[in-house]
Amino acid sequence: MEIFTHISDVKNYIHVKKIIGREIGFVPTMGALHEGHLSLIRASKNKELLTTASIFVNPAQFGPNEDFNKYPRPIEEDIELLKSVNCDVLFLPSVEEMYPEKAAVQMTMPLYTQKYEGEHRKGHFEGVMLVVAKLFNIVSPDVAFFGQKDFQQCAVVKQMVKDLSFPVKIEIIPTVREADGLAMSSRNRYLSAEERKKAVGIYQTLVYTKGLVQHEKNVENLIRHAYIYIEKFGFTQIDYIDIVQADTLQTLHIAEKENNPVMLITARCGTTRLLDNMYLYEN
Ligand code: PAF
């Protein structure tokens, strides 16, 4: 695996590969890699793309009271994991390389960022759009892979690519889960043994609602039942539970198959925020 820390070096390397006809698959990450990330690398490798991962803990997407400083950075472990799935290239820039000075450009997308993560993490998606746009310009991928777990992020990135005509195809890969159903996340490693047991409550609430939707289509009722169901797990706080139309993220009133409803849940387990989602009609 080739490892680059400088923008000019990774750009040159990819430029040469493109000239000889290679197509580039890109998996942007913040490191602390797990099976979820590796499934994105595998998806890219399966398409025979020259697979490039980036590891960059992007300060621009963390709020002042968030976990930027304590975000896990097990870089040696990450490199071994990437090698184990035959990742071709790793771009591993420093903060100074990515932001030699504070970016003057600000990216906003009110359409998709006023609710859910955008409401609870002010400025988060502005930071995500900035870094993803920058990374796309550096890596110039033909296909970029994102995990479904960050459902709202997927909608924001897809819209950004459409509006700004980035020549990249976005592929969304299903969430990878632990044996008990907990969605894999770099932040799961913050959970104590006690919190880890509770954490599965999010997945169980999604599955419960998916069962319920067979005979209850009223979204208000479904959400009320979900709040009652999740209570027993003892989360510190439920940030939101909602059912939205998958493509527009608009809240639904009736959860019918034709509307392609997705349930979004974010809850805090101790101080750790956990996100998950599920299509209510998919197998
Ligand atoms: O999903 C993530 O890990 C990050 O938001 C991303 C897309 C790598 C941008 O920093």
Q: For residue 282, what pLDDT band results from cuts at 50, 70 and 90? A: confident
Domains and CATH numbers, the chain: 2-173 (3.40.50.620), 186-276 (3.30.1300.10)
Mutate which of 132, 134, 160, 173 to test ligand 1's pocket (most atoms within 8 Å of Cβ)? 132
Point out the ligand 1 atom lying closest to the alpha carbon of residue 157: 7
- The yes-or-no verdict on residue 283 having pLDDT over 80 is no
H or E stretch including 53?
Answer: strand 50-55
Q: Could you report the per-residue pLDDT of 194-241, keeping only the tens digit for each?
A: 999 999 999 999 999 999 999 999 999 999 999 999 999 999 999 999
Active site residue 253: no
98 lines ligand 1 (CB under 6 A): no
Q: For residue 9, what pLDDT band results from cuts at 50, 70 and 90? A: very high
Closest Cα to atom 5 of ligand 1? 128
DSSP assignments along 148-172, one per residue: TTSHHHHHHHHHHHHHTT-S-EEEE
Average pLDDT over residues 93-104: 97
CA of 255 to the centre of ligand 1 (A): 30
Give the bridge partners for 240, in sequence order: 266
CA of 29 to the centre of ligand 1 (A): 5
CA-closest candidate to residue 132, choices 157, 151, 95: 157
Closest Cα to atom 6 of ligand 1? 29
Distance CA 251, CA 242 (A): 7
Q: Could you report the per-residue pLDDT of 237-264, keeping only the tens digit for each?
A: 999 999 999 999 999 999 999 999 999 9
Distances (CA, A) of 239 to 30, 60, 192, 267: 23, 22, 20, 5
pLDDT score for 167: 98
Closest Cα to atom 3 of ligand 1? 29
pLDDT score for 187: 96
pLDDT score for 169: 98
pLDDT score for 62: 97
262 lines ligand 1 (CB under 6 A): no
239 lines ligand 1 (CB under 6 A): no
129 lines ligand 1 (CB under 6 A): no
Distance CA 111, CA 158 (A): 13
CA of 28 to the centre of ligand 1 (A): 6
Closest Cα to atom 2 of ligand 1? 29
Q: Could you report the per-residue pLDDT of 149-200, keeping only the tens digit for each?
A: 999 999 999 999 999 999 999 999 999 999 999 999 999 999 999 999 999 9
Average pLDDT over residues 109-137: 97
Q: Which of 6, 34, 37, 225 is catalytic?
A: 37
CB contact at 8 A, 138 and 11: yes
